[in-house]
Amino acid sequence: MDLVQLTEGIVKSLVVDQDAVSVKEFPTDEDNVILIQVIVAEDDMGRVIGKGGRCANAIRTLVQASSSLKDNKYVKIDIDKF
């Protein structure tokens, strides 16, 4: 499974407004780093980040684990709102 699709699936399962979710991969200067940007509606930011950042860290952990099985690249995930 693609890391962007995995991230999008996880985030869409957490939010109320699934149509507002946008997940894109951006190139970085480093060869072994993948940057994934997640954009959600302002009302859903709390759901995605979670109390103390627990949900965001869990998403990062799951995607990083998937990357280590496939590409073994470091994944950075930025979460932002509209």
> What six digits make up the tokens of 2?
């693609």
Condensed to tens digits (0 to 9), the pLDDT of residues 36-55 reads 999 999 999 999 999 999 99
CA-based end-to-end distance of the chain: 27
82 has pLDDT over 70: yes
CB 44 within 8 A of CB 55: no
- pLDDT at residue 9 is higher than 90: yes
* pLDDT recorded at residue 72: 87
Q: Top-level CATH class of 3-81?
A: alpha beta
pLDDT at position 30 over 80: yes
pLDDT for the residue numbered 26: 93
Q: What is the pTM of this model?
A: 0.91
